[in-house]
Structure 1
Amino acid sequence: MKGINIFQSKNEFYTEFDYNALTPASPVTIKGNNVGKINDIKYDFETGKTRVAFTIDKNLQFSKDSKMRLYELGIMGGNGMAIIPAKGGTPAKNGDFIASEVEEGLVKSLTSNFSGLSSGLDETLESADSLLVNLNKLVEDDSEKGLKNAIGELNTTIKSFQTLSYSFNSLIAKNDATLTSMLSNFDKVSKDLGALTEDLKDVEISKTVKTLDQTLLEVNTLLAGLDQGEGTLGKLLTDEELYNNLEVASQQLQELLQDFKLNPSRYIKVSVFGKNNKEGYIKPEDERQ
């Protein structure tokens, strides 16, 4: 019982193959059902074989004479290990070694895979060689499509940018004084704007706006009163009879003043020659007389 965990829910077994075609993720099955997993895969330097340690659920009972078959998983890819149970015999116990076998055709498939890998490597090398040849042709090509021409055009473009940079620097050097003056003026204007902004901050704009609003409110009240005929001016504006009477009175006053100018003797009893003018009011043709 030494080294055996009696509380373990799985039993560990061992087997070996001439080829290693398994991975720790390869399934351990029986009749297509997954019943265990691979714990360890090691190469035995003494026997030259691959030793595989795997665990099986304790609930599965199978004979020690069963076989562990290495088989292909099909379209899923990879390989698996299946228990081929034997009829009768001693039940397999924890730590037993189970004989193995390989599915017919799998060894041939493995060897063909190695040969396929070799041929694939040859094809890869051939492709790499073709790529290098094409790259050399591209570098050596002197036409417009060649790499040399592309590099030459790129170099010309860089030189053009360099010339433009020199011209730009020369332009800045020639106009350095003007640019400095412009920047100084701009700085002065910015400072003036800053000072103006500070002055505007001290102005009680809200108070001024409030006073203006109050004034406009009073004007609106006054205009509303005039429109409703309040006060002398309002009555004058809205009372048509008063307007007509004022117009008649104004006309009569005008006639009275006109008559006074033309016939002052009617109103002032002064007679130079002792004769009174008894004539009535005669309206002149030009009322301005």
Structure 2
Amino acid sequence: MKISNETKVGILATVAIAVLIIGYSFLKGNDVFTSENKFYASYDRVDGLSVSKPVMVNGYQIGRVSKMSLQPNGEILTEFKINQDYAIPANTIARIASTDLLGGKAIVFELGDSKDYAQDGDTLRANIQRNILEQVEPVQKKAEAVVAVLDSVLSSINNTINADFQRNFNRSIASIANTLNTLEHTTAQVDAIVGTQRTKLSNILSNVESISANFKNNGERITSILTNMESVTDQVAKANFQQTIQNANAAVADLQHIVDNINNGKGSVGLLLNDEELYNNLNNASKNLDCLMIDLREHPSRYVHFSVFGKKDKDGKEESKKK
């Protein structure tokens, strides 16, 4: 059977019209090939949200926005078409969320924990999340304020730092660099000394280790020696201290006996201190001796005679010199 060209054109036109209708319906958010549940939510603002925007759960698309209408109270009633394969809890929140920096929006379902599920035609709770630019705006304002403060501080620092300060600062940096170079040179010298004396240091450490090992091996003997020494020193200290106390007591007793005798007028010192007559006699004797010494100094010829040829007797005769 031969199909005429007119029939072919008619079939092609019918298919084209059907595809156009289906495509237009799809763009409006309708899916003619699957069965879907309808849910609703009311929002005060829907900036950036439009028909055919996706409805997602954890980033996975389960439906789309099918219709939006302005209500008399100013709210926007939004209709969602969700695949019947997905059960939506009754306390799920339909949130308008930003999808990009340009302000694109989508519906994100925050699934609730209710055991009851929403039915076709139910209205879900709504929530709006601020877009990224709205969230960044407060931070931007704070950043601008901080930048203004930093600009003011830097301007003040720039005015404070004059040429003299810069020269002093450069001189200080150069001094620090020289100090670091000197320290590096000193460190190199120390490393060289340690390298040359490494053998001696190793021997010293070996000797120290050997000594510590000997102490460790003879710990009990050393402890015993120290215990004996402590006992001996304690005994000596006790003995010496006791003997010293006894000697001191005896000396104090003797001194007390002597003081008692002196107070009682016994002995020479006691008589000297307590006998007034003896004191007066000694005082008179001292005075007489003083007068004698004065007279001897003034008239020495009365007491001492000097003669080259000897002395004369009472008759005036010269006595021969004694051999």
TM-score bracket, shorter-length normalisation = 0.3 to 0.5
Structure possessing the higher radius of gyration over alpha carbons:
2
The structure richer in helix per residue is 2
TM-score (norm 1): 0.33
TM-score (norm 2): 0.30
